[in-house]
Chains A and B, each alone.
Chain A
Amino acid sequence: MSLSKAEISDFVRRNLLLIAEILLCIVLYIGNRYGYQRDQVLAEQLRRELVDMEYQALNTTSDVSAKSKPSYIEKIVVSNGSELVISTEPAYDLRK
């Protein structure tokens, strides 16, 4: 039942377009899948980075807030030997 060369080449010739189309689809599929996976990895990496940044932002805000607390500043001012105190006198309005 062996197929003659002529038969195979005839079969290939007749289905050349189909084979080309299948090959193209395979190439597109592989390329697309690869690209998608790369994007997925990148997205994951960026997402982690974002979460990291959010935590960093929160942490920095927290540090800065703690240091800007009025009584904390007052304590530092006192410990540095300065005579500055929180004013109980209202400010003057110098605007015209």
Chain B
Amino acid sequence: MAGKVKEKNSEKRRVSRRYLTIFLFVMLWGVLIIVKMSIVMFAERQYWNDVSKNLIPANRTIEPRRGNILSDEGLLLVSSMKHYRIFLDFATYEKNQKRAEADQHRKDTLFERHIDEFAREINRMFPQYSVRQLRQHFITGRTSKSKHSWPLLPGVSRNLYPISYNQYKTLTGTVWLRPKNEGWFYSLESKISREQPFGTLASRTLGDMFAGKDSARFGLELSFDSILRGTPGIGHIEKVQNVSHMVADIPQIDGCDIVTTINVDMQDVTEVALRRELELVNAASGTAVLMEVATGDIKAIASLTRTENGYYEIQNNAVRDIFEPGSTFKLVSFMVALDDGKISIMDSVFCEWGRYAGFGGGAVMTDAGIGYGWLDVPGIIKNSCNIGTSKLITAAYKDDPQAFVDGIYRTGINTHFEMQLIGTGAPVIRKDGYWDATRLPWMSIGYNSQMPVINTLAFYNGIANGGKMVEPRLVTEIRHEGKVVERIPVKVVRERMCKDKTLEQIKMMLEGVVDGGSGEKAASRHFKVAGKTGTAQISQGAAGYRNGIRTHMVSFCGYFPADKPQYTCIVSISTSGGAAGGGTMAAPVFHEISEKVMARRILRNVSEAVDTVNQFLPAVLAGDMNSTRLVLRKLGMKPEWKESDSLTWGRVTLDSIQFRMTPIIEREGLVPNVVGMGAQDALYILESAGLRVEIAGVGRVRSQSLPGNSRFRKGDRIRINLSM
């Protein structure tokens, strides 16, 4: 029993000793931890703070990529691209003197040996800098104070990033700009900026960003900013296997792309045509807008203003500025009056002899000195007669001028088209207030009201669209990662702007304007054009219309092809001094735009190309004339048949538009002349004459080794060469 107790006690001691050891070990470990902790907390505090600053993965914003702006065909109009600045380092950074010397020597050798080659390479990429200029630039840089960071390109301001991604890739692939100790050191700065690949094409409509800021300035960039922008993500930097990289905790959502209605070709044609005319007449500014009839899609929109360096887009005048529209508005007046039944298309009015002071208020209305006498309504529109229009409208509405304005509102021309842009102009067509003697007559010819060019365009587009006015549209789709997120539908402003009968009469009158009227320069040989010219004096504010130099807004608005309208276009040019007219200045621009646009869109039937000069005539081989005659007759041609009907072998010549057949006469013992024949006929003739024939090529016989009519012996070899 005692033995058992003793054993139990010794067991107990052993166990408690074991636990004590473990306890002491754990305690010691704990103390060590506390000691280490204190050292870290107090003695090494600064060190670890510094380390943590570098290592603690602070949350970082992951910038989303801004969406692209695309053309109607999906071409890139605006995109975010990476641009670079490269700095060369001609001097060594080595601290150790020995190594510094060696490295500097290496760099210097590279410089001495390759400077010319390097300058040439850079010149190839940036031809605007000459080899000499670049060479001098590098030599200057080498001894300059900034030799450690000398810009690659001379004369580039600090905030410009002139090197594109592809250029950067090519450059850093060259021997000279390899990283580390292989080439010249270089340093790099990059920036993502918005770029318009097509240059200044529709630049004002597409918009821009503030330089160096993530903020849109104007245009579609501004109005669609929230859609283009995207949502930033949050991430942190992690170091894995010695490589730090960003781990996204909340991934960023890249911005959506927007698909515009702008067509690159049409926009280009429009800008070129407008710029040419503006330069020709030295105009202050001009706008041209091209619209698709059925959808109201703006295919091209250009607003050019004169600057010291030529004509550029400074403002989007077409949608922003409001003007008195002038004569293009006469059509609105007639549409209202015809629709109200106040006048008939057959009505005639005496249009005076160029001047009329009968409206009262001491005001004189003129027609540029041209006296038209008696004109009917189509005649008034055709000649764009002010006095005739005002007389008719005043007579119709003098008792109730507000009814006239009601009629104008009914057409929808007073709609404020926001056009998915910010800052578009709203039309001002006053309805209330005092109607003095001049207000109605001048209103009827496009004064006393103001509207942006786009409203006039939408009105004419409505006429072309069978009376249905649609809102001008600039953006059709919003896409995210290639998938359509939203489609923007065509917005109808008026289902019917006027009665069908009125519409027909209006259309007929517009065709008359181009067919021998004031807008005849807009006419085309290939399709029918309808439109109206406009010439308006621009008010100089309080100074009125005649302060010093008169400034005019000349315009032409119309649609084509008139029998099945596809596009509506307005051209408006602001000139100062001299003679001005929509028919002489704006109509030619319209003509050029319409012809170039339609040249790509209509296909003429090939039979139209046939006339007395151009005929479709088959190429006829020499040979069996009986077969040739048969084929030509089947084709509806009558070959001239000079010799007797027994003619077998012959050749065909083309005499103006008539085929003439002449015989090939075979003589015994002489080589037949087979030049011009096909292989089958030539082979038959030569073989039957007793020659052995070798044939080379395909087509018709161009040459034969034994000349025609030379003597030969039976069994002689002849080689004939054929080609197409």
Contact = CB atoms under 8 A, between A and B. Distances in A.
A5 to B, nearest CB: 16
B603 A59 contact: no
Interface string A65-96: 11001110010000000000011111111100
Interface size for chain B: under 10, 10 to 19, 20 to 34, or 35 or more residues? 35 or more
A41, A69, A87: residue with the most chain B Cβ atoms closer than 10 Å: A69
A70 B269 contact: yes
A1 B14 contact: yes
A91 B605 CA distance: 9
A60 B81 CA distance: 11
A59 B166 contact: yes
Interface size for chain A: under 10, 10 to 19, 20 to 34, or 35 or more residues? 20 to 34
B526 interface: yes
Nearest to B15: A1
A37 B241 contact: yes
A62 B595 contact: no
A93 B603 contact: yes
B656 to A, nearest CB: 23
B599 A66 contact: no
A88 B241 contact: no
Contact of A69 (B169, B199, B595, B605): B199
A29 interface: no
Contacts of B596: 86-88
B606 A94 contact: yes
B14 to A, nearest CB: 6
Contacts of B595: 88
Nearest to B164: A59
B655 interface: no
A9 interface: no
Nearest to B524: A88
Contacts of A65: 75-76, 197-198, 264
A66 B269 CA distance: 15
Contacts of B82: 55, 59
Given A44-B245, A69-B268, A55 B81 contact: yes
A49 B11 CA distance: 69
Nearest to B19: A1
A40 interface: yes
Interface in A1-30: 1
A31 to B, nearest CB: 14
A94 B241 CA distance: 66
Contact of B165 (A40, A56, A89, A93): A56
A94 B610 CA distance: 13
Contact of A62 (B20, B76, B271, B604): B76
Interface in B160-202: 164-166, 169, 195, 197-199, 201
B268 A40 contact: no
A41, A58, A93: residue with the most chain B Cβ atoms closer than 10 Å: A58
A86 B599 CA distance: 9
B284 interface: no
Nearest to B594: A88
A71 B21 contact: no
A61 B609 CA distance: 39
A65 B262 CA distance: 15
B368 interface: no
A61 B197 contact: yes
B17 interface: yes
Contacts of B75: 65
A58 B81 contact: yes
Nearest to A47: B245
Interface of A: 1, 37-38, 40-41, 44, 55-56, 58-63, 65-66, 69-71, 74, 86-94
22 contacts: A40-B240, A41-B240, A41-B243, A41-B245, A44-B240, A55-B82, A56-B165, A56-B169, A58-B76, A58-B80, A58-B165, A59-B81, A59-B166, A62-B197, A65-B75, A69-B268, A89-B599, A90-B599, A91-B603, A92-B603, A92-B605, A93-B605
Given A90-B604, A91-B599, 14 more contacts: A59-B166, A61-B197, A62-B79, A63-B166, A66-B198, A86-B269, A88-B595, A88-B596, A90-B526, A90-B599, A92-B606, A92-B608, A93-B603, A93-B605
Q: Considering the complex of A and B, which 6 residue pairs feature the smallest CB-CB distances, nearest first?
A: A62-B197, A1-B17, A93-B603, A88-B595, A44-B245, A65-B197
